[in-house]
Each structure stands twice: as C-alpha cells, then as structure tokens.
Amino acid sequence: MIKIEYAPEVAKAMANGKPIVALESTIISHGMPFPKNMETAYLVEEVVRENGAYPATIAIIGGVPKIGLTEKEIRILAEAGKSVTKVSRRDFPMVLAQKKHGATTVAGTMILAEKAGIRIFATGGIGGVHRGAENTMDISADLQELANTSVAVVSAGVKSILDLGLTLEYLETMGVPVWGYQTSELPAFFTRDSGFRLDYRADDVETLAKMLKAKWDFGLKGGVLIGNPVPRLYSMDKWEIEGVIREALLEAKKQGRKGKKITPFLLSKINELTKGKSLATNIELVLNNARLAARLAHKYAEMV
C-alpha cells in the first residue's frame, strides 16, 4: 500500500480536530513564474493561518503523496516549474510508480484531500469545458472530480479562458451544486461578473457551512463549487480581458497547444499581454479564496 505522509503541523491539527484547508500545487509549478510562485505559496499558507485554519498544500514529492509541504518542498516545485508533472486522476499511477515529483491539479488535490478527510479546498479557478470543445472534446477532469469527490472547492469561479456557459451546463448535468458567495452570478476568475446567473447564493460563511453539512449528512456524494469573486479593487475590465484571451487563444492555436499544456500557456500569454496586471489579479483572488476557505473550514469544524 502506498503511504500518504502528513506534515507535522497538519497531523497535529487532524489529531485535535482543527480546521484544515487543502491547497493545490499546480499553481506553484505551472501557474506563476519563479520566484513569485514560491512567494505566493508561502503567503497563501500564512493567510489560511491568519484566518483560523491550518494550511495543507498537497503534492507528490519523490513518489510520496504529501498532505502539507515544508518550505523546502515548496521551493523544489517552484524552481522546477513546468518540468514538474501535473497530476490529475489519470496521472497518479505513473508519478507514484516512477517516484517522480508531481504538482496536483484541482482534481488531483481533491482526491488526496478526500483521502485525508479534508473537506475544504481553496484554489484560484477550476478547469472546465474549453472553448471549441464541441470539436475537440477538451473538458477538464476537474468537473468529473467535483461530481464524485466530496470536497468543497472555493474558487474565483471558472477560469475565463474557458466556455463558462457550457461548464455550468456540464456541472448541472453531473449534479454538482454551484453556490455564489455574496453573489448571484458566476465569478469569471479575472472579473467579478460573467453574465451567467447562479441558482443559489450564500451571504455568510455559516450558511455555506450549513449547506455543506446538509449535503453530506444526507449522503449525497460529490463536491461543491463555491464561487468567490475577486475583490473589486483587483477585478479586471470584462471586455478588456476578453480581448486579451481571444488573442492568446489564437496564438495557442497557431502553436498547436493542446491538452494540459494549453492552460499554463494561456495564463502566461495573458500575463504578458496585460503587462503583469493579470498575474497581480490572480494572486489577489487566490489570497481571497484562502481567506474564505479558512473561515469556512473553521465554521464547518464547529458543526461536525
């Protein structure tokens, strides 16, 4: 049996029934350039602590699944960058068997979080149905994981490089609840508004925790997507970012970027085209999600 290792801080928190927030590691290796990725990873963990929970950054180091990373392990992923394998459900066997480093995606992080009994997970934005998926069938494994893995994902909605409408339709078909936190509209990652209305919203953390508890107490498996809009101060102009995304998509098509390589390429290209503005927004929305996730984990821990 493959053993999961827990950082001492996380193991102690689990033993004492303390609130824990799972954090992904693909954002470290593939989401930002070095050293900003490392600095942000440390900062996100600190934000979780400041808001009453314990951070558990999840990854695979040398073939060992880790729940909670040391500063040295975070640096390993940050420096290695895109050479680190992105790990979703299909990638676990290869990375574990070959004892490689692996940075967990939303789906990969959910899998390990559920195995560890961690219910709350903070990320930037989830993957979804890609634009043009009616021809390419390019649909993120994150959506299937949300349907089957019982972890609540706090994110700034769906990455706006994707087809947001089709992503919402897919999630509805799979029975995944999508809740807006203090919003009735799906957040669109770089922007607060998408034009897509949500059926449910919660205006306080206690309501979110009660709905999560009701779902799982009733025996409904699967996760929940909690859309938490980027703070207004850092929200980008909807039409400006849409123009940039279209330009980046055209460049990706010219270069033949497909599959798991396309999202890191697009985010990097968008950062280049916006002269760093999109990266600043990305960092702020991740921190904002970490704050909400920590408060939610704290409230949920009081109820179970």
> What is the reported pTM?
0.94
Domains annotated for the chain, with CATH where assigned, are: 5-241+276-303 (3.40.1790.10)
- Give residue-wise pLDDT tens across range 216-248: 999 999 999 999 999 999 999 988 988 998 898
Mean pLDDT calculated for residue range 165-193: 96
pLDDT band for position 202 (50/70/90)? Answer: very high
| pLDDT computed for residue 260 by the predictor | 66
Cα angle value 238/234/167 (rounded, 5°): 50
Mean pLDDT of the chain: 94
| pLDDT computed for residue 232 by the predictor | 95
| pLDDT computed for residue 255 by the predictor | 87
Instruction: Identify the active-site residue in 66, 86, 159, 277.
Output: 159
Percent helix, percent strand, percent coil in the chain, to nearest 5: 50, 15, 30
* Residue 24 is among the residues annotated as catalytic for this protein: yes
- Give residue-wise pLDDT tens across range 245-279: 889 888 888 888 876 677 778 878 888 898 889 99
| pLDDT computed for residue 171 by the predictor | 97
